[in-house]
Amino acid sequence: MAEIAGIDERLTSQFSTRSADIKKAVGQLEKDYRASHGRSPDAAARIKLAQQATLDTRAQKLHARSLAALRTEWAAKGTERVGTATIRNLLLDARAAAHATDETRAEPRLVDIDRAARQVVATVSEHHAVWGPHMIEAEARRWVQNETSRGAVPAGTVEQITRRALETDSIAVTSPAPHGAFQPLTRRDGSSIYDHKSRMLFTSAGLLAAEDTLLDAARTRTIAPVAVAEFDWTAAAHSGPLDAGQRALAREFTTSGTLLVVGTGPAGAGKTTALALAARATEHAGGRLIELAPSATAATVFRDAVGVPAATIHSFVGAYDTHGDATPDSRQPDELKLRPGDIVVVDEAGMAGMAGTVNLAKVTRIAERHGAHVRLIGDDRQLAAVESGGALRLLEREVGSVQLEQIHRFASQNTACHGGVAVTGPPHERTPSDLRVPGAPDEAVSSQARRAG
């Protein structure tokens, strides 16, 4: 946000309480929402809560008053905060600051347009799978505004960054117009005036690669982190309510050898209970369940409820980006150092803008390098559209998912059910772990064999 030079910061805070009041009200409304719904609000709910907070904090409108009366009132409030002299010299101080800025303003510094375009595309792709030119331009303006705080930049920088980001760092996914452009009816950039810019959609090579990483992981078979016999022993010792759906989700999350598994379930269906059982089974097998949440508050709640290490997805990725892979001497927090057999659960993975396809792919690659497994879980009513960055929905559509009531896979002539778990793929591609039978001798030692290897 741009501010006028020479204005006392105390005055700015005195007359800028509206946004602070709204933010405080939104925080309370989101807290109430979580308490009543058992989950965090999705993007649509957040918009409604922000609108409600805006209305709730709006001051009652007073009768119409003249500008002179308003200025008198404003001057009185300002004088109470900063004193009479500051208010009397307000305009003079602002003009003097502007004059001093003009005299000391340096020549516009050169901007690395290529670097700026890459950063803009990377930022947008954290929250969206596809985007339009207006989204890139808006992010370019934010980037330039941030750079301007460190010195002037040349005029037209926003346009240059936007053009480079769209032409070089983005991939068009909208089909080109079937007809050529008629020169007298073209825009300055050479496009036809009949081409609607808002209809153009783009993505990036990095985001497509991240989606491929997730899809490949959801089809990659490895050694299961927990043997079926070990899970059944843990489930038998479980105290408290546990329905068949919760047991099925916990079983698939722990005994599946698939590198990445997706689980969904509505709020209140008992995902936390199922994950608590999965955590105990993983610990019994010698591993750990580590939860990644969209916020620090959510991570704390999960840590207290399930009794496992928890962090935000950004702090987890940041720790490995900064310190590299986990070793006994690496500087990641000990609780986030992955080991073979660990399970990383990404909570609220279906909410747009919370996890992000690129970050989910980073988590998956980190887990794979360390011999760990990834499990994504979210509310099936909160799954974001694929076009807005909904990696969970993409995986559910292309590969399948586990639900609390039953395990679902895309039906085909080669699909079979074994003990309530649907198994996909041609028969010749199935492995013995696909047809696990509780209590089988080879299952009882799978975890020990995995750790010994």
Q: What tokens does 76 get?
A: 């009185």
Count of domains forming the chain: 3
Residue 233 belongs to some domain of the structure: yes
Q: What is the pLDDT of residue 239?
A: 84
Closest CA to 339 of 373, 368, 370, 313: 370
pTM exceeding the 0.75 threshold for the entire prediction: no
pLDDT value for 412: 41
Q: Which of 49 and 108 is assigned the larger pLDDT?
A: 49
363 neighbors 392 (Cβ within 8 angstroms): no
More confident residue, 406 or 351: 351
Last residue of a domain, one of 203, 224, 248: 203
pLDDT of residue 219: 94
Given 51, 78, 104, the domain boundary residue is: 104
Lowest mean per-residue pLDDT among 70-79, 120-129, 336-345, 407-416: 407-416
Does residue 188 form part of some domain? no
pLDDT exceeds 90 at position 292: yes
The span from the CA of 443 to the CA of 430, in Å, is: 16
Residue (of 227, 282, 296, 224) closest to 256 by Cα position: 224
Specify the pLDDT at position 103: 54
Read off the pLDDT of residues 134-191 as tens digits, 9 standing for 90 and up. 999 999 999 998 888 777 888 889 999 999 999 998 998 887 766 666 777 777 766 6
pLDDT higher at 286 or 3: 286
**DSSP 3-state assignment of 251?**
helix
What average pLDDT does this structure show over 76-100?
Answer: 82
Residues 15 and 164 in one domain: no
Residue 447 reports pLDDT greater than 60: no
pLDDT at 392: 80
Residue 88: its pLDDT value, please? 84
The Cα–Cα gap between 150 and 110 comes to 12
117 and 91, same structural domain? no
Are 19 and 61 in a shared domain?
yes
Length of the chain: 453
Phi first, then psi: what are they for 350, rounded to 5°?
A: -95, -5
> What is the per-residue pLDDT for 1?
55
Which residue, of 203, 221, 247, is where some domain finishes? 203
Distance CA 319, CA 305 (A): 24
Q: What is the pLDDT of residue 241?
A: 81
Better pLDDT: 4 or 111 = 111
**Residues 162 and 93 both lie in one domain:** no
Mean pLDDT along residues 196-223: 88
Helices marked H in 84-204 — which ranges?
84-88, 90-104, 113-125, 133-148, 157-167
Nearest in space to 314 (alpha carbons), one of 257, 264, 354: 354
- Which residues, 6 or more positions from 255, have their beta carbon under 8 angstroms from its beta carbon? 224, 225, 226, 227, 228, 231, 436
Q: Is residue 416 scored above 50 in pLDDT?
A: no
Q: Which domain holds residue 147?
A: 113-174+196-203
Q: Is residue 49 part of a domain?
A: yes
CA–CA distance, 396 with 261 (Å, rounded to integer): 9
Q: Which long-range contacts (CB under 8 A, 24 or more apart) does 109-115 make?
A: 109/151, 109/152, 109/153, 110/154, 111/147, 111/153, 111/154, 111/157, 111/161, 113/157, 113/160, 113/161, 113/164, 114/164, 114/168
User: Could you tell me if 117 and 100 lie in one domain?
Assistant: no
Pair 313, 375 in one domain: yes
Q: What pLDDT shows up at residue 36?
A: 84
Residue pLDDT, tens place only, 226-276: 999 999 999 999 887 888 888 999 999 999 999 999 998 877 778 888 999
Same domain as 256, residue 239: yes
Residue 181 counted as domain residue? no
| 91 and 128 belong to one structural domain | no
Is the same domain home to 98 and 126? no
How far is residue 332's CA from residue 69's CA, in Å, rounded to a whole number? 60
CA of residue 139 relative to chain centroid, distance:
17
Q: Which tokens belong to 431? A: 């492995």
- In this structure, of 79-88, 340-349, 408-417, the range with the lowest mean pLDDT score is 408-417
Neighbouring residues of 110: CB distance < 8 A, sequence distance ≥ 6:
154
Average pLDDT, the chain: 80
For residues 113 and 161, is the Cβ–Cβ distance under 8 A?
yes
Q: Indicate whether 99 and 134 sit together in one domain.
A: no
Summarize the confidence of residues 407-436 as an average pLDDT: 37
Q: Is 4 a domain residue?
A: no
- In a domain, residue 446? The reply is yes
- H or E, element range at 403: strand 401-403
CATH number, domain of 293, equals 3.40.50.300
Note the pLDDT of residue 269: 74
Both 39 and 149 in one domain: the answer is no
More confident residue, 37 or 436: 37
What residue has token string 């679902």? 408
Do 212 and 342 fall within a single domain?
Answer: yes
pLDDT digits (tens, 9 = 90+) for 360-414: 999 999 999 999 999 999 876 655 544 445 788 888 888 888 877 644 333 443 4
- Residue 185, in any domain of the structure: no
